[in-house]
Amino acid sequence: MSVPTELIQRLGNVKKVTVLTGAGVSAESGVPTFRDAQTGLWAKYSPEELATPRAFRRNPRLVWEWYEWRRKLVADAQPNAAHFALAEMENIFAQFQLITQNVDGLHQRAGSRNVIELHGNIARTKCFEEGRVVSTWKETGDVPPKCPACGGPLRPDVVWFEEAVPEEKIALANEFSTSCDVFFSIGTSAMVYPAASLPLEALESGATLVEINPQSTPLSKKANFVLSGAAGLIVPELVNCLGD
């Protein structure tokens, strides 16, 4: 797919660009998405059993071990061409804000410096009882391990279903979405709120909305440009065109 000339021209004339990414951006790194019918995590596992505070209370070992498996998968994965191209975009525009729903840290590993991680980071651990971020603990054989400060169980520092995105993060994301000239929604099914409201807010505030996704989403009909295909092909092509 080639990038429309009209979009390249528009991007040549703007200063403020905001990008929202989702699991599709990491799919080509081998990190499974959530909602893809055959390969998505939620096709195999139930979010209610693995990604809620209630699930953790019911079976903390199961939840910890599932996240350990994902943590390892992500640690072994490498950023792909889409991550690298997005890192390059940070140098092209006067103001460039990356907002991600991904917890895999691959944007940062590709060189993005300024990332709002709406759903946390799987490599970080916090105390389930008190929310304190913990970087070291004693390996006593307990699964999950215990918080060195209060003895409560440790959990991944990610946002689960039934939990809220930290207020300061969503406020910042709102600000960058309502004040940008062009908003990209890349590799997200645009179904999980509050992240899914960001492209709509951008559109309402007058931004040009661009979607990059091989499938259509609830956003596709509203977007000004829909680039249908894999992020690992389209985002580098877009960045190349910007350099011409």
CB burial of residue 76 (10 Å; 0-12, 13-18, 19+): exposed
* 26 is a contact residue toward ligand OAD (CB under 6 A): no
The whole-angstrom separation of Cα 233 and Cα 227 is: 11
CB of 60 to ligand OAD, least distance (A): 17
* 159 is a contact residue toward ligand OAD (CB under 6 A): yes
**DSSP reduced 3-state for 131:** coil
Which helix (H) or strand (E) element contains residue 84? helix 81-89
Exactly one of 70, 83, 119, 169 is catalytic; name it: 119
Piece of the chain touching ligand OAD by CB under 6 A; list 28-36, 129-137, 144-152, 168-176:
28-36
Q: φ, ψ for residue 113 (rounded to 5)?
A: -100, -30
The sheet with strand 133-134 has its strands ordered as 133-134, 120-127, 154-158
Quick one: which of 17, 23, 223, 239 contacts ligand OAD (CB under 6 A)? 23
Piece of the chain touching ligand OAD by CB under 6 A; list 3-11, 83-91, 107-115, 186-194:
186-194
Quick one: which of 18, 19, 28, 127 contacts ligand OAD (CB under 6 A)? 28
Q: Determine contact, residues 23/102, Cβ cutoff 8 Å.
A: yes
Residues 119-158, interacting with ligand OAD (CB under 6 A): 119
Quick one: which of 170, 219, 223, 230 contacts ligand OAD (CB under 6 A)? 230
The answer to whether 119 is a known catalytic residue is yes
The whole-angstrom separation of Cα 33 and Cα 85 is: 20
Interface residues with ligand OAD (CB under 6 A) are: 22-24, 27-28, 33-36, 40, 51, 101, 119, 159, 187-189, 191-192, 213-215, 217, 230-232
